[in-house]
Structure 1
């Protein structure tokens, strides 16, 4: 029989790859048993140099060194002196003494010469592990600081996995160092690159890459030379990023773009942090079926999220904070034909971005849907505020923009300095179709701003406004409410007053279809030139009234307002488009007559 290899690999700390990590303290002695409690200890072990041992000692990072178990044993219960034991499994098909050609699904970069000491250039070692990984394999980065001098390229269907990723860098944090940190001498377009099949020379489509629990720390990259954290160009499909952080890279945090007319497709990002990158946090150009869940862009120099055509995509629970330009910018041509479409933003938020919290200026026919957008303190504008910026701004948008709920809350910097911003809560100008159903909009100058030039702008019934600072706001809760299209109300609608700029239709078939139910209630019709109500005086028993609104079907109803002369019976003769003549049967009738014009429905 053959001995199986343990240690120096993530497989020694998990029951299954999805079950989580079992950690131990540095320097702890670990023994091994055939049962989860009690049982018999395995004492027939060999270290990496084939010396007999009965236990192993964790290194400075709490990791086990490479060793071999007893003959034929592929799994053991590890005991580190705690209250429970953990099951570990061998990560190779056999020891170095087994037949040549055995393949490990988990490859530890330390086995390929990586050091992770924050000094040594580990580029070649990590790339060698990535190149050696089979499709479906995992390249594991034990805790450490891995320096690189050139881009790392992940092949299709290979996972790069670390032990931990920090969402923020916290002074004095006790977590062990666990990141890829490019050297100041780094040369290349991105710290990690995904390339298409033609560029990478792959025999299959470039797809199914995974990056899990990995942080890229670009603080040593030379300023002025743009280096992205992760770059992908071309036909690269179904990439998954989870617990992935990019901080202080001199380019974009993540960039996805075109190569030979083809773009990446159908990516999934979960719990991704893009922190203080010098370009955009996330820059996407034509990415169909993109899913963003709990992705945050903070402190990036350009836009937090720069999205150019992401048809059939969704962003859920994402955050854009303290970015230099817009928190989110939905821009570019989203097309109008086959394969085009819009995007859903749900439960997303902004805070203190330099320009707008969210700017939509895209063109195309696919609707951009925004549900439950929470904006706060945007429009910083270098501390000056103003600038026409808003929590949500739609400007020259050709795409339909449909907004469910949006809120805006103004403010200053965290220390109370600078100017209160944004200037507007929602600002819409020169756009094709924008509908905002509800919201609470508190901004420095105006909660709601119609900049003009809009083909269709619909404001919902439940939008409240405030202006001024947060500690002394001015309420404008009774502002005008505009409703276009159909408003269907079950039961009845009771309003204190109302106005209409368009036609009213009452389709009820009862005799009291229009009912003025209070004593003293009446109907008022404006008089004047070409009006539908007026008075005239008979001269010699007749009077001609000029009124271009008269049609062939108009019903003219004359009645005597004040008697004069010898009274007669009144009749009407119409001249469509010109007016009508009222004639009395008495030539001596000089009465003042009133008239009302009706049209058949």
Structure 2
């Protein structure tokens, strides 16, 4: 039989759930057993020097040195004196009577010569671990500061996994040493590059890369345009989770074309891009991308620059303090059967230099925005104004459908600079925009129609405010929640209706007002000062008190019930007081009806 190798890192421990790590403290004494509890201890061990031992002592990092297990044993339960034991696999299994074949799928970069001391160039060691990792395996970065001099490339279906990701730089916070930090003089297009099948020389489609719990710190980068993570070409189904990219000189994440192909179907969860030189997320023609709880802060251009992302979604993402727009939906989204729109839901913006969200995309797919919260955008280098808005749609031919949008103005955190944005929501030269509801508070106007819109539909429940947050000026709609005119295309069908205001019909055709089906009619209330009523002639005349009569009132009179000697009827007015109805026959005692009309 044969002894098998164990140890050399916490990467050899396998526990449930799969995203946990069973670790030990520095200097811990570890024993090995044949069961998860109780059982029999394995005491026939050999240390790295082939000396007999019954236990293994962890090093200063909490890792176990390489050792040999008992004959024929390929896995053991490790006990470090805690409440549970962790399962530990051997590095090799038997391929023949005495032949060992490697089966390790969790590789520790320290085993490949990486140091993580914030000084040593670890590029070659980390790349060696990535190259040695089988598809489906994990390359593990224990806590440390790993310096690199050139791009790291992750092969298909390999996971690069660290221990911890700081979300962003915080004054006074001591960062745990757990990141990749390019050296001064770094040469390359990106700190981490994902290569397609052709450029990478892979024998399979480049897909299923994973980056988990990894932070990239580009503080020492000098050359401009170096991205954090870059992918060009047909690179599919990439997953990023708990990833932070800060202070690189290019984009945080940059997806590009290669040979007419683009990356496809990525999933990003809890990805932070902090103070990078260009866009935080530069997405070019990425079909089926999902971004959940991603944030771009302090980026040198747009926080999110989405240039055609058919059938994609952003959920719970945030863009703040970026130099240009917070979220920019742009580019040609096409018109064919393969084109598709995008859902932006539950996202927020704050204090971006230009618009919070700008949509200027062309094409036919709909862009749907739900529950958008904008605040203090349009900073414009502290000057405010500039025509910026919390939500701006400018020159878009894509349909833009907005469910709920809010805007709240303000200044810098310390109270300095001008209040912004100038507009809560602004729409100019658009093909179709529909906004259902919102609360829009901005410096100059909550709602702004910039003109040139083919269809701009404003919902019934949109409130506006202007001025400062301390002393806002309400520009709320009337109780019906319709501010200004309500324009209805087609026809409005209502089962019942009430109105306390004037109705105007501006149509110039003869049948400007039609009364439905047979039997329909007009009913006018009668009574004191009414516009319709009946009176009885006495001696051929009657005076009707009515203060609603004007100098231009038209009085229509007609006989309701004949009486006495009949004559021709006429009317005379005393404006504001009364009108008189007179018959040409002094003995006329008829009951007469009258209706008052006013010229429009």
Which TM class, normalised by the smaller chain length?
Answer: 0.7 to 0.9
Shift of 1:225: 1.9
Q: How does 1:85-164 map to 2 (within 5 A)?
A: 85-90=84-89, 92-94=91-93, 99-164=99-164
Q: How does 1:528-539 map to 2 (within 5 A)?
A: none
Shift of 1:456: 0.7
**Does the 8 Å CA contact 1:5/1:94 hold for their aligned counterparts?**
no
Query: Partner of 1:410 in structure 2?
Result: 409
Shift of 1:24: 3.5
Query: Partner of 1:265 in structure 2?
Result: 264
**Does the 8 Å CA contact 1:247/1:276 hold for their aligned counterparts?**
yes
**Does the 8 Å CA contact 1:3/1:94 hold for their aligned counterparts?**
no
Q: How does 1:231-380 map to 2 (within 5 A)?
A: 231-380=230-379
Shift of 1:112: 1.5
Shift of 1:74: 3.5
Mean CA deviation greater in 89-98 or 287-296: 89-98
User: Structure 1 residues 561, 108: closer, same or farther in 2, change over 3 A?
Assistant: farther
Mean CA deviation greater in 508-517 or 233-242: 508-517
| Cα-to-partner distance string for 1:520-567 (whole Å, 9 max, x where unaligned) | 7879xxxxxxxxx9989xxxxxxxxxxxxxxxxxxxxxx997699x99
Q: How does 1:24-43 map to 2 (within 5 A)?
A: 24-43=24-43
Query: Partner of 1:394 in structure 2?
Result: 393
The answer to whether 1:497 aligns with 2:501 is: yes
| Cα-to-partner distance string for 1:335-354 (whole Å, 9 max, x where unaligned) | 11131121110111111111
Shift of 1:474: 1.0
Query: Partner of 1:467 in structure 2?
Result: 466
Query: Partner of 1:511 in structure 2?
Result: 519
Query: Partner of 1:184 in structure 2?
Result: 184
Query: Partner of 1:226 in structure 2?
Result: 225
The answer to whether 1:204 aligns with 2:212 is: no
**Does the 8 Å CA contact 1:300/1:322 hold for their aligned counterparts?**
yes
State how far apart, in whole Å, the 2-side matches of 1:98 and 1:246 are.
Answer: 47
Query: Partner of 1:440 in structure 2?
Result: 439
State how far apart, in whole Å, the 1-side matches of 2:517 and 2:417 are.
Answer: 63
State how far apart, in whole Å, the 2-side matches of 1:308 and 1:403 are.
Answer: 19
**Does the 8 Å CA contact 1:458/1:482 hold for their aligned counterparts?**
no
User: Structure 1 residues 125, 19: closer, same or farther in 2, change over 3 A?
Assistant: closer
- Give the root-mean-square deviation of aligned CA atoms: 3.3
Mean CA deviation greater in 345-354 or 160-169: 160-169
| Cα-to-partner distance string for 1:418-466 (whole Å, 9 max, x where unaligned) | 1111111101111111110000111111111111111110000000111
* Secondary structure of 2:186's aligned partner: coil
Q: Any gaps of 5 or more consecutive residues in structure 1?
A: 524-532, 537-558, 568-593
Shift of 1:596: 12
State how far apart, in whole Å, the 2-side matches of 1:560 and 1:33 are.
Answer: 119
The answer to whether 1:480 aligns with 2:479 is: no
* Secondary structure of 1:70's aligned partner: coil
State how far apart, in whole Å, the 2-side matches of 1:447 and 1:64 are.
Answer: 63
State how far apart, in whole Å, the 1-side matches of 2:513 and 2:52 are.
Answer: 95
User: Structure 1 residues 91, 444: closer, same or farther in 2, change over 3 A?
Assistant: farther
State how far apart, in whole Å, the 2-side matches of 1:354 and 1:456 are.
Answer: 28
User: Structure 1 residues 34, 432: closer, same or farther in 2, change over 3 A?
Assistant: same
* Secondary structure of 1:71's aligned partner: coil
State how far apart, in whole Å, the 2-side matches of 1:507 and 1:9 are.
Answer: 86
* Secondary structure of 2:374's aligned partner: strand
Shift of 1:7: 2.8
Shift of 1:411: 1.1
Shift of 1:321: 1.1
**Does the 8 Å CA contact 1:411/1:421 hold for their aligned counterparts?**
yes
User: Structure 1 residues 448, 515: closer, same or farther in 2, change over 3 A?
Assistant: farther
State how far apart, in whole Å, the 2-side matches of 1:521 and 1:256 are.
Answer: 74
Query: Partner of 1:584 in structure 2?
Result: none
User: Structure 1 residues 487, 314: closer, same or farther in 2, change over 3 A?
Assistant: farther
State how far apart, in whole Å, the 2-side matches of 1:270 and 1:323 are.
Answer: 20
Q: How does 1:53-92 map to 2 (within 5 A)?
A: 53-82=53-82, 84-90=83-89, 92=91
Query: Partner of 1:571 in structure 2?
Result: none
State how far apart, in whole Å, the 1-side matches of 2:412 and 2:233 are.
Answer: 41
**Does the 8 Å CA contact 1:143/1:162 hold for their aligned counterparts?**
yes
User: Structure 1 residues 7, 596: closer, same or farther in 2, change over 3 A?
Assistant: same
Query: Partner of 1:21 in structure 2?
Result: 21
State how far apart, in whole Å, the 2-side matches of 1:198 and 1:184 are.
Answer: 30
State how far apart, in whole Å, the 1-side matches of 2:376 and 2:569 are.
Answer: 67
* Secondary structure of 1:363's aligned partner: coil
| Cα-to-partner distance string for 1:496-522 (whole Å, 9 max, x where unaligned) | 436567778878547347666786787
**Does the 8 Å CA contact 1:459/1:481 hold for their aligned counterparts?**
no
Shift of 1:17: 6.5
State how far apart, in whole Å, the 2-side matches of 1:88 and 1:262 are.
Answer: 43
State how far apart, in whole Å, the 1-side matches of 2:134 and 2:113 are.
Answer: 19
User: Structure 1 residues 43, 325: closer, same or farther in 2, change over 3 A?
Assistant: same
Number of equivalenced pairs: 539
State how far apart, in whole Å, the 1-side matches of 2:422 and 2:295 are.
Answer: 24
State how far apart, in whole Å, the 2-side matches of 1:228 and 1:12 are.
Answer: 33
Query: Partner of 1:46 in structure 2?
Result: 46
State how far apart, in whole Å, the 2-side matches of 1:457 and 1:160 are.
Answer: 48
Query: Partner of 1:529 in structure 2?
Result: none
